[in-house]
């Protein structure tokens, strides 16, 4: 099996480039403006062809490619191919030639035949050409090297055609240093009595070499709302609120071309060029200030030179200063600001100067030579010398400041360990406090106290709110207290009644010996303890009602009741 796979692979590999051909074709050679054709570059005999490079064709845009591969084995005959499919959209009417397209297959180049394409004015073309067009505006088509000139690319769309914006913009402006703003400005304009919506791409060019250079061609893709094919009204630009509402319209990208505009770029003239010219081109203004102007020797003066105006600020060098022999100078700092298109700008240079002596009377003249392209001549902006009043420094005599350094050098403090302590200091505790019994006792005490407090609070709350609990809890204590002062059988019986009433949470009044069988025996009090309880009741009843001497004395009865209470306290009733 494996051998067959190897043989098959070798068969495929050896035959991969055996019979390769490349063919380019379009689905239609004649189309109306606004339509697109499908260009297919098919590579037969292999699937390994690299993506072809499509040559640039004026006013034709190529979108894609999408790739399609096929492979089939029929009666032992293998066929395979790969196709690169492009969508070609013309930007104008006319005849076009799609030149030979080269495809590299296995290191070998294959070329297709050129294809002719005719774009006529279709039924819709007449409308489209009147409704959508573009043009470039350049104020001057003769520029100087280094000059910055604003340009604008305008897209006109008839006012009744919904214009949504631009989806693409490509341009050719080699050597012109073209820059443009991404934000599209929109407005309206009336041409020959017809109202148009206008989209404006603002930009600027700044030629980088001399000669005749072309601005453009530019291809823009305008997004227009058109009715879907098959609609009731005419294609493509009918607009209807109902069409939009019911989805019978679609946004279509319609390409529009701006023809190339030639620009002649001239070199800067040699004639009249100042010796101190540094390359500045534009219209520049010089503004020089110095602060302070009333100083003492050694005081710094801040010289501020501001150059501002129209043109490329990047071409403006540092203005020339006259002799600064009387000053100690420091390196200047520069800050440059400019607009996005580099058509206006400002450069501020600041330099610190220190007068060395009282002989200094003024700051030197400042000059900036530049070429004014509008005047087509060199000019020089000049700032006259600024007067200074320089007084003597400290000490009432002229002081020469050497190197602009501080007269008193920075003080360097010595460093060393701090001196000895003069006394023994606080005594050292004999043993660490932590870990001692006292420490742990002090830790445990608040916890226990808190737990006790909580428990006490719960108990008092229960005693206050739970009568049965309160009576049961206090029964024995109260009975013992009463029993100690009881001197008669009557009082002893009352103590017993109170005790049992409190323990069982029942009214005291009706308690007799029968309660033993009714309440105590069912709760587990029986046998000898129940008999003793009955005996206590019987002794008291005998003494009270028979009027005679009971079997037990008062003392003995009291002791019996006391023991009875003690034993009943051990029972859960």
Partner 1 sequence: MNWKRNSYKIGVVIWLVGLCRAFAGPSDDFKSANQLYDTGKFAEAAAVYEKIEPKTAHVYYNLGNAHFREGKLGLAILDYERARRLAPRDPDIMANLKFAEQRLGVDDVNAPPRAWQRFLRSIIESRSPNEWGMYELAALWLAALAVGVCIYIPRLRTVLLGIAAAAFVGFAASVFALGHEVLGDRTAPAAVVVAAETEARFAPVPDSTTHFKLIEGTRVVIREDRGHWLFVERADGQQGWVRSDTVERVVPQS
d(CA 553, CA 112): 143
Q: Is the alpha carbon torsion for 522, 528, 529, 535 positive or negative?
A: positive
**At closest approach, how far in Å is the CB of 472 from partner 1?**
25
Interface positions, 356-415, toward partner 1 (CB under 8 A):
415
**At closest approach, how far in Å is the CB of 465 from partner 1?**
16
**In this structure, what are the phi and psi dihedrals at residue 218, rounded to the nearest 5 degrees?**
-115, 140
Q: How many residues does the chain have?
A: 573
d(CA 205, CA 77): 60
**At closest approach, how far in Å is the CB of 410 from partner 1?**
20
**At closest approach, how far in Å is the CB of 61 from partner 1?**
59
**At closest approach, how far in Å is the CB of 467 from partner 1?**
23
Q: 67 or 445: whose CB is closer to partner 1?
A: 445
**At closest approach, how far in Å is the CB of 415 from partner 1?**
7
**At closest approach, how far in Å is the CB of 437 from partner 1?**
13
d(CA 151, CA 207): 12
Burial of 49 (0-12, 13-18, 19+ CB in 10 A): buried
Q: 2 or 412: whose CB is closer to partner 1?
A: 412
For partner 1, the binding residue among 1, 447, 507, 522 (CB under 8 A) is 447
**At closest approach, how far in Å is the CB of 436 from partner 1?**
9
Q: 465 or 507: whose CB is closer to partner 1?
A: 465
Interface positions, 195-214, toward partner 1 (CB under 8 A):
none
Q: 30 or 457: whose CB is closer to partner 1?
A: 457
For partner 1, the binding residue among 73, 123, 389, 442 (CB under 8 A) is 442
Q: 11 or 433: whose CB is closer to partner 1?
A: 433
Q: Is 457 in the site for partner 1 (CB under 8 A)?
A: yes
Q: 1 or 428: whose CB is closer to partner 1?
A: 428
**At closest approach, how far in Å is the CB of 561 from partner 1?**
39
**At closest approach, how far in Å is the CB of 463 from partner 1?**
16
* CA angle, 255 then 220 then 180, to 5°: 180
**Which segment (43-51, 182-190, 277-285, 446-454) binds partner 1 by CB under 8 A?**
446-454
Residue owning tokens 């739970």: 466
**At closest approach, how far in Å is the CB of 416 from partner 1?**
7
| # binding residues, partner 1 (CB under 8 A) | 30
Interface positions, 63-92, toward partner 1 (CB under 8 A):
none
**Which segment (47-55, 182-190, 441-449, 499-507) binds partner 1 by CB under 8 A?**
441-449
Q: How far is CA 72 from CA 13, 78, 79, 80, in A?
A: 15, 6, 5, 6
d(CA 371, CA 435): 91
Q: 230 or 425: whose CB is closer to partner 1?
A: 425
**Cβ partners under 8 Å of residue 461, min gap 6:** none
Residue owning tokens 């609070």: 457
d(CA 5, CA 97): 46
Q: 7 or 450: whose CB is closer to partner 1?
A: 450
Task: Give strand ranges (E) for 356-400.
Answer: 362-363, 366-372, 377-383, 386-387, 389-391
Q: 425 or 527: whose CB is closer to partner 1?
A: 425
Q: 377 or 454: whose CB is closer to partner 1?
A: 454
Helix (H) or strand (E) holding 567: helix 554-569
Q: How far is CA 422 from CA 275, 328, 419, 425, in A?
A: 80, 55, 9, 8
**At closest approach, how far in Å is the CB of 460 from partner 1?**
10
**Cβ partners under 8 Å of residue 115, min gap 6:** 24, 25, 26, 29, 39, 97, 98
Quick one: residue 351, left, alpha or beta (phi over 0 = left, psi -120 to 50 = alpha)? beta
Q: Which residues pair with 104 in a beta bridge?
A: 109
For residues 103 and 52, the answer to whether their CB atoms sit within 8 Å is yes
**At closest approach, how far in Å is the CB of 456 from partner 1?**
9
- The three-class DSSP label of residue 323 is coil
Q: 190 or 427: whose CB is closer to partner 1?
A: 427
Q: 5 or 427: whose CB is closer to partner 1?
A: 427
Q: 449 or 468: whose CB is closer to partner 1?
A: 449
**At closest approach, how far in Å is the CB of 173 from partner 1?**
55
Interface positions, 300-329, toward partner 1 (CB under 8 A):
none
d(CA 315, CA 370): 10
Interface positions, 410-439, toward partner 1 (CB under 8 A):
415-430, 432-435, 439
Q: Which residues pair with 213 in a beta bridge?
A: 263
Four-CA torsion 477, 480, 483, 484, nearest 10 degrees? -110
Q: 29 or 443: whose CB is closer to partner 1?
A: 443
d(CA 358, CA 370): 35
Q: Is the alpha carbon torsion for 480, 485, 489, 490 positive or negative?
A: negative
Binding positions for partner 1, rule: CB under 8 A: 415-430, 432-435, 439, 442-443, 446-447, 449-450, 453-454, 457
């Amino acid at each position: 099996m494996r051998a067959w796979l190897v043989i098959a692979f070798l068969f495929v590999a050896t035959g991969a480039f055996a019979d390769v051909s490349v063919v380019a074709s379009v689905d239609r050679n004649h189309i109306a403006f606004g339509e697109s054709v499908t260009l297919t570059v098919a590579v037969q005999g292999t699937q390994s062809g690299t993506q072809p490079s499509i040559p640039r064709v004026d006013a034709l845009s190529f979108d894609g490619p999408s790739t399609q591969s096929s492979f089939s084995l029929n009666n032992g005959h293998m066929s395979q191919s790969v196709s690169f499919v492009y969508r070609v959209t013309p930007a104008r009417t006319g005849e076009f030639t799609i030149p030979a397209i080269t495809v590299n297959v296995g290191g070998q180049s294959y070329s297709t035949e050129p294809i002719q394409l005719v774009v006529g004015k279709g039924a819709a073309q007449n409308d489209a050409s009147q409704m959508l067009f573009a043009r470039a505006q350049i104020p001057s088509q003769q520029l100087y090297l280094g000059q910055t000139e604003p340009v604008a690319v305008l897209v006109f769309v008839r006012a009744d055609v919904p214009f949504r914006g631009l989806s693409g913009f490509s341009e050719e402006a080699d050597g012109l240093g073209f820059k443009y703003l991404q934000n599209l400005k929109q407005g309206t304009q009336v041409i020959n009595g017809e109202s148009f919506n206008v989209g404006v791409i603002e930009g600027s060019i700044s030629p980088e070499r001399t000669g005749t250079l072309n601005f453009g061609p530019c291809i823009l893709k305008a997004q227009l709302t058109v009715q879907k094919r098959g609609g009731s009204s005419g294609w493509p630009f009918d607009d209807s609120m109902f069409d939009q509402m019911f989805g019978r319209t679609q946004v279509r990208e319609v390409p529009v071309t701006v023809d190339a505009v030639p620009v002649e770029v001239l070199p800067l003239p040699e004639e009249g060029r100042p010796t101190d010219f540094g390359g500045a081109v534009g219209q520049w203004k010089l503004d020089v200030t110095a602060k302070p102007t009333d100083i003492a020797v050694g005081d710094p003066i801040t010289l501020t030179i501001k150059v501002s105006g129209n043109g490329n600020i990047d071409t403006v060098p540092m203005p020339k200063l006259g002799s600064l022999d009387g000053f100690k100078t420091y390196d200047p700092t520069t800050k440059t600001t400019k607009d996005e298109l580099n058509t206006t700008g400002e450069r501020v240079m600041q330099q610190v100067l220190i007068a060395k002596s009282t002989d200094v009377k003024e700051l030197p003249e400042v000059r900036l030579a530049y070429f004014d392209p509008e005047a087509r001549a060199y000019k020089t902006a000049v700032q006259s010398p600024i007067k200074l009043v320089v007084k003597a420094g400290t000490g009432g005599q002229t002081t020469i400041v050497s190197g602009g350094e501080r007269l008193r050098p920075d003080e360097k403090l010595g460093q060393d360990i701090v001196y000895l302590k003069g006394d023994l200091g606080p005594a050292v505790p004999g043993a660490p406090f932590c870990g001692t019994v006292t420490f742990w006792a002090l830790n445990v005490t608040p916890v226990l106290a808190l737990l006790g407090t909580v428990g006490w609070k719960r108990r008092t709350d229960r005693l206050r709110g739970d009568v049965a609990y309160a009576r049961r809890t206090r029964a024995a204590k109260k009975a013992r207290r009463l029993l100690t002062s009881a001197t008669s059988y009557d009082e002893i019986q009352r103590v017993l009644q109170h005790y049992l009433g409190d323990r069982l949470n029942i009214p005291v009044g009706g308690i007799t010996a029968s309660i033993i069988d009714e309440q105590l025996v069912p709760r587990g009090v029986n046998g000898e303890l129940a008999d003793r309880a009955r005996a206590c009741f019987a002794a008291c009843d005998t003494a009270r009602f028979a009027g005679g001497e009971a079997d037990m004395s008062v003392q003995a009865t009291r002791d019996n009741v006391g023991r009875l209470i003690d034993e009943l306290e051990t029972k859960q009733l």
